[in-house]
């Protein structure tokens, strides 16, 4: 450890004065101008001492060097689409937001290598818009529009993970600025598919929530866009049937199974209640749950084949009692049934949201246990489930009637959440499938992560960020 | 840092005495019995102080605890199929081999989750043999038969990486024993596809060559076995044409392009010369190179479709002058043409092997530059290329005539290698695509890895292995 890192904190003001000298005019915001940068999609909000808007890796490096020297705290921020408050400063007004939004160049694009190097502030939608004419895309499919750096910091998954994988699987390289006294730049952006020349350092930063270093650019392993696809909506008697149907879909379609989203019947009912413009594709079925299934391939001209095979599969699943009814449909008409769900539930009460991941084989048993537990302990609350059944990701919402809000204070809510996560752990699951760790679930990280893993994460953070300069969530 | 780690080394003998008490009879080998454990497939060999054969994670933990206390050096070892000497003790006779070969249980297998937890010593072939009746496999396709732990330590890629990815992409979890004073066990084996509950610690150990911790088990994201496939062999005028043909294959077949291996014409000629049992599939063509192309899908019943589409594609490529001739064939007849190549070349001279990875778009220019350089600087040597063109991985062999062996001493060889790797770096490539870093290329790691990355790797190793107890290659 060197002297600079052990020097007493010279403070935020000294840091901001230096930061102002490092940035062009207008790239350091104070006061009112900070407002848009103080909240994310989780509803979590805070108070920024300032917002820094560097437009180059060199500027990020200079800012990190200064923040380490002055012991100032920076919270890296991308598109503010996060759901755990990981990019939002705390309420102290002593943390500065380091927004990457001005770093949005597509530095390199190599269609023959199917790769692109994009800066951290480039929104996913913009990246894909620029790739579309070449028949390529980064196939991370989420409802929001994160920026590249946030995608990496959260290791975003989404609805097509079954076929395309998460961010980690689609990433070839990273550029990262370290929180050391040099603001060292790790240039690991070489777009190589095979590269085993030592410890793969970039992996450390994927999913770390900006706490181990500042991601300034990423190289992507682009995929060819789907050229054939089929979407269908099925009514199933129960979740166990969904599991068997999922297995059958994989046996018949292999890697072409692109999404297998399951929606509990009560969740679909709520969506249709709140959004009368949406139509029930299978009105009248006495289903326990519904599955939104997508088959797709980048091979052109398979639409008819997919339809023919899907019909045969559905006939066989129907004969086995695994499917009650099914409808083929256009993706843009069926996906809103799934995507409108969180909004619909929020309109019906106060949603307590859980983003859990389990071995998918254990999802039915876990969900049944969660329903039993909630009915016994919190009979006024109702549990709704929807999400990425095919990959074991499940979004659970326990809906608290508004009139009971007063009787559910912070302590009671924390106990409820903790009990549900305990049930998740007992079924071999994770308390955070997709959203990551931030202030909103820091307590659950402490509770449900093994001691050896917590210890190692803390030591890694201290190694990489000895001055505690970075990130909202602390592992140490 | 605690006192135990700073204590003076009490030595190898004290460690071995304690190790003997920790292991069952027959699980600590000395002398002659160590011979089979002293070499790997690279030809690298050393001298083991002893071979330790633990059969449980608890035993590995106890051994690591003891090795840290006594400051003894352990070299973790799997199937000895490595090509850089990473699992072989040095020549000092002071390092003990920690073989995982007795840990070979399939701890869990969950067909509905498509996952399995296998111990480190289980050979890949054995794992796949047990999965076959369920229509599942771990689709890592290499010529050798590594054990699970070695697969992870090397982040093995292979010939079907284009479609199935490397080890990292197929891994869901790890169990790792740390080289700390507790022999801490990190149990990160939960077979979850979505799990973003903090820093993904297991990533650190993938591809680290056993230098950061001992891998004792791994959870796998199994895939459904290919149910449809087509293999073909094409003659192309030159490597630039191979690049255009690769792009066309991806446009026509998307994710079904399973392998695209390119073999330079001189390399194929050598194979056919050395193995008269092999037949030239396209005798008479004046090709600059050949491509072994495989399309495959886990969707059954697509063989005829693949053939029909491939014929159409070949017709179009032929019309564009990108393909001279092509033959469809059975995989088991065509792959030996590619797989026999290293043996064939070894029969014709002294092979100097290079395992490089590049952006695939730059492979033709790199190979041309390498040929030019060798012709100018070492006119007696000839360059042969073959390998994983589709993913940018390329195996180069510079063949040294046996009669010149005496004029190529270690220093001259090192300079030759270094110059070729320098050319690789200048074309944006990596000096080790697949084989990893071990004693055989430690010098090139020092030379061709950025200072910031080397520094961080060294600090990580000191954090995770402060007593320098583990691994053959040191990053610090």
Q: H-helix or E-strand containing A186? A: strand A185-188
Count of other CB atoms within 10 angstroms of residue B304: 10
User: Is the domain of A291 the same as that of A336?
Assistant: yes
User: From CA A9, how far away is CA A13, in angstroms rounded?
Assistant: 11
User: From CA A79, how far away is CA A42, in angstroms rounded?
Assistant: 12
Q: Hey, which residues 112-141 in chain B have their CB within 8 Å of chain A?
A: 112-115, 135
The CATH number of residue B83's host domain is 3.30.43.10
User: From CA B141, how far away is CA B355, in angstroms rounded?
Assistant: 17
pLDDT confidence of residue B286: 86
User: Is the domain of B193 the same as that of B258?
Assistant: no
The answer to whether residue A5 scores a pLDDT higher than 50 is no
Count of other CB atoms within 10 angstroms of residue A55: 18
pLDDT confidence of residue B434: 95
Count of other CB atoms within 10 angstroms of residue B369: 16
User: From CA A390, how far away is CA A247, in angstroms rounded?
Assistant: 9
Q: Nearest CA to CA, how far is A245 from chain B (Å)?
A: 11
* Nearest CA among A122, A265, A1, A110 for reference residue B462: A1
Task: Examine residue A469 and state whether it is found in any structural domain, yes or no.
Answer: no
Mean pLDDT of B455-474: 95
User: Is the domain of A334 the same as that of A409?
Assistant: no
User: From CA B76, how far away is CA B100, in angstroms rounded?
Assistant: 7
Answer yes or no: do A198 and B475 touch at CB < 8 A.
Answer: yes
Q: Nearest CA to CA, how far is A46 from chain B (Å)?
A: 22
pLDDT confidence of residue A283: 85
User: Is the domain of A254 the same as that of A219?
Assistant: no
> Contact A332/A267 with Cβ under 8 angstroms?
no
- A459 touching chain B per CB within 8 A: yes
Task: Examine residue B1 and state whether it is found in any structural domain, yes or no.
Answer: no
- Token pair for A130: 């620029």
**Interface mutation vs chain A, best among B198, B434, B443, most A CBs within 10 Å:** B198
Task: Examine residue B162 and state whether it is found in any structural domain, yes or no.
Answer: yes
User: From CA B15, how far away is CA B85, in angstroms rounded?
Assistant: 24
Mean pLDDT of B35-50: 94
The answer to whether residue B278 scores a pLDDT higher than 70 is yes
User: Is the domain of B394 the same as that of B336?
Assistant: no
Phi and psi at residue B435, in whole multiples of 5°? -80, -15
- pTM attached to this predicted model: 0.96
The CATH number of residue A336's host domain is 3.30.70.2190
The answer to whether residue B142 scores a pLDDT higher than 70 is yes
Tell me: the pLDDT tens digits for A216-235?
Answer: 999 999 999 999 999 999 99
User: Is the domain of A113 the same as that of A200?
Assistant: yes
User: Is the domain of A335 the same as that of A360?
Assistant: no
Tell me: the pLDDT tens digits for B445-459?
Answer: 999 999 999 999 999
Answer yes or no: do B196 and A154 touch at CB < 8 A.
Answer: yes
Tell me: the pLDDT tens digits for B194-214?
Answer: 999 999 999 999 999 999 999
pLDDT confidence of residue A286: 86
Answer yes or no: do A193 and B357 touch at CB < 8 A.
Answer: yes
User: Is the domain of B399 the same as that of B315?
Assistant: no
**Last residue of some domain: B191, B206, B224?**
B224
Q: Nearest CA to CA, how far is A86 from chain B (Å)?
A: 12
3-state secondary structure of A322: coil
User: Is the domain of A215 the same as that of A279?
Assistant: no
> Contact A268/A385 with Cβ under 8 angstroms?
no
pLDDT confidence of residue A2: 43
Instruction: For residue B432, list chain A residues with Cβ-Cβ distance below 8 A.
Output: 195-198
ipTM of the complex: 0.95
pLDDT confidence of residue A26: 97
**Last residue of some domain: A102, A127, A154?**
A102
Q: What is the DSSP letter of A238?
A: S
Task: Examine residue B443 and state whether it is found in any structural domain, yes or no.
Answer: no
Tell me: the pLDDT tens digits for B335-378?
Answer: 999 889 999 999 999 999 999 999 999 999 999 999 999 999 99
Residues of the domain holding A170: 106-224
The answer to whether residue B400 scores a pLDDT higher than 80 is yes
pLDDT confidence of residue A6: 43
Measured between CA atoms, the residue of chain A closest to residue B135 is: A251
Phi and psi at residue B197, in whole multiples of 5°? -95, 60
Phi and psi at residue A79, in whole multiples of 5°? -85, 5
| pLDDT classification of B154: cutoffs 50, 70, 90 | very high
pLDDT confidence of residue B95: 96
- A172 touching chain B per CB within 8 A: no
Mean pLDDT of A434-443: 93
Q: What is the DSSP letter of A207?
A: T
User: Is the domain of A213 the same as that of A117?
Assistant: yes
pLDDT confidence of residue B143: 87
pLDDT confidence of residue B9: 56
User: Is the domain of B63 the same as that of B164?
Assistant: no
Instruction: Name the residue facing B204 among A203, A300, A358 (closest C-beta).
Output: A203
Tell me: the pLDDT tens digits for A42-87?
Answer: 889 999 999 999 999 999 999 999 999 999 999 999 999 999 999 9
DSSP B309-370: HHHHHHHHHHHTTS-SEEEEE-HHHHHHHHHTHHHHHHHHSEEEEEEEE--GGGHHHHHHHH
User: From CA B2, how far away is CA B4, in angstroms rounded?
Assistant: 6
Measured between CA atoms, the residue of chain A closest to residue B184 is: A452
Residues forming beta bridges with residue A219, ordered by sequence position: A117, A173
Which residue is associated with the tokens 């752990």? Answer: A425
User: From CA A360, how far away is CA A240, in angstroms rounded?
Assistant: 11
CA triplet B236, B232, A111: central angle to 5 degrees?
A: 60
**Interface mutation vs chain B, best among A64, A196, A257, A464, most B CBs within 10 Å:** A196
Phi and psi at residue A243, in whole multiples of 5°? -65, -45
Task: Examine residue B472 and state whether it is found in any structural domain, yes or no.
Answer: no
Q: Dihedral angle at the C-alpha atoms of B413, B418, B419, B421, nearest 10 degrees?
A: 130
Q: Hey, which residues 20-79 in chain B have their CB within 8 Å of chain A?
A: none
DSSP B385-419: EEE-GGGTEEEEEEEEPGGGGGG--HHHHHHHHHH
User: From CA A117, how far away is CA A105, in angstroms rounded?
Assistant: 9
- B158 touching chain A per CB within 8 A: no
Radius of gyration of chain A (CA): 23
Average pLDDT, chain B: 95
- Token pair for B118: 């296998």
> Contact A165/A222 with Cβ under 8 angstroms?
no
The CATH number of residue A414's host domain is 3.30.70.2740
Answer yes or no: do B198 and A256 touch at CB < 8 A.
Answer: no
Number of domains in chain A: 4
The answer to whether residue B5 scores a pLDDT higher than 50 is no
Residues forming beta bridges with residue A328, ordered by sequence position: A232
| pLDDT classification of B298: cutoffs 50, 70, 90 | very high
The answer to whether residue B6 scores a pLDDT higher than 60 is no
The CATH number of residue B219's host domain is 3.30.465.10
Tell me: the pLDDT tens digits for B210-268?
Answer: 999 999 999 999 999 999 999 999 999 999 999 999 999 999 999 999 999 999 999 99
Q: H-helix or E-strand containing B119? A: strand B115-119
Least confident of A4-13, A140-149, A291-300, A353-362: A4-13
Task: Examine residue A456 and state whether it is found in any structural domain, yes or no.
Answer: no
Task: Examine residue A91 and state whether it is found in any structural domain, yes or no.
Answer: yes
Task: Examine residue A77 and state whether it is found in any structural domain, yes or no.
Answer: yes
Pairing of strands B73-77, B185-188: unpaired
pLDDT confidence of residue A431: 97
User: Is the domain of B247 the same as that of B319?
Assistant: yes
Radius of gyration of chain B (CA): 23
DSSP B44-105: -B--EEEEE---SHHHHHHHHHHHHHHT-EEEEESSS--SSSTTS--TTS-EEEEE-TT---
The answer to whether residue A7 scores a pLDDT higher than 60 is no
The answer to whether residue B330 scores a pLDDT higher than 70 is yes
**Last residue of some domain: A189, A224, A259?**
A224
The answer to whether the Cα torsion of A448, A452, A457, A458 is positive or negative is positive
Measured between CA atoms, the residue of chain A closest to residue B363 is: A113
Instruction: For residue B212, list chain A residues with Cβ-Cβ distance below 8 A.
Output: 199
């Amino acid at each position: 450890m060197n002297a600079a890192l052990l020097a007493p904190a010279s403070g935020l003001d000294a840091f901001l004065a230096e930061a102002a000298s490092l940035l062009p005019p207008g790239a350091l915001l104070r006061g009112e101008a900070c407002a848009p940068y103080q909240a994310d999609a989780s509803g979590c909000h805070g108070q920024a001492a300032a917002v820094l808007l560097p437009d180059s890796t060199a500027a990020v490096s200079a800012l990190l060097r200064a923040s380490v020297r002055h012991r100032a705290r920076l919270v890296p921020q991308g598109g503010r689409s996060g759901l755990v408050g990981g990019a939002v400063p705390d309420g102290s007004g002593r943390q500065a937001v380091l927004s990457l939004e001005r770093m949005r160049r597509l530095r390199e694009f190599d269609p023959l290598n199917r790769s692109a190097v994009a800066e951290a502030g480039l929104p996913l939608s913009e990246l894909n818009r620029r790739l579309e004419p070449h028949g390529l895309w980064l196939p991370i499919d989420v409802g929001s529009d994160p920026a590249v750096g946030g995608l990496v910091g959260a290791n975003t998954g989404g609805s097509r993970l079954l076929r395309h994988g998460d961010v980690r699987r689609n990433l070839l390289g990273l550029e990262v600025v370290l929180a050391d006294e040099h603001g060292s730049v790790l240039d690991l952006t070489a777009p190589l598919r095979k590269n085993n020349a030592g410890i793969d350092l970039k992996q450390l930063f994927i999913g770390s929530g900006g706490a181990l270093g500042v991601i300034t650019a990423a190289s992507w392993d682009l995929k060819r866009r789907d050229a054939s696809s089929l979407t269908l909506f099925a009514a199933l008697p129960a979740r166990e049937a969904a599991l068997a149907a999922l297995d059958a879909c994989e046996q018949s379609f292999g890697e072409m199974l692109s999404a297998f989203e399951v929606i509990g019947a009560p969740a679909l009912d709520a969506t249709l209640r709140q959004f009368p413009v949406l139509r029930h594709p299978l009105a009248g079925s006495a289903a326990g749950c519904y599955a939104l299934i997508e088959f797709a391939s980048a091979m052109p001209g398979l639409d008819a084949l997919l339809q023919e095979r899907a019909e045969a599969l559905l006939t066989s699943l129907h004969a086995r009692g695994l499917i009650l009814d099914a409808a083929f449909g256009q993706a843009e008409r069926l996906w809103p049934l799934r995507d409108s769900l969180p909004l619909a539930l929020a309109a019906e009460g106060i949603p307590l949201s859980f983003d859990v991941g389990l071995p998918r084989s254990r999802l039915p048993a876990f969900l049944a246990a969660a329903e039993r537990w909630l009915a016994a302990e919190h009979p006024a609350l109702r549990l709704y489930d929807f999400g990425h059944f095919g990959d074991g990701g499940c979004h659970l919402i326990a809906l608290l009637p508004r009139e009971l809000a007063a009787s559910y204070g912070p302590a009671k809510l924390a106990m409820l959440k903790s009990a549900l996560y305990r049930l998740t752990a007992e079924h071999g699951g994770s308390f955070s499938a997709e959203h990551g760790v931030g202030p909103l679930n820091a307590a659950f990280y402490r509770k449900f992560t093994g001691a050896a893993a917590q210890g190692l994460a803390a030591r890694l953070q201290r190694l990489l960020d000895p001055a505690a300069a970075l990130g909202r969530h602390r592992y140490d």
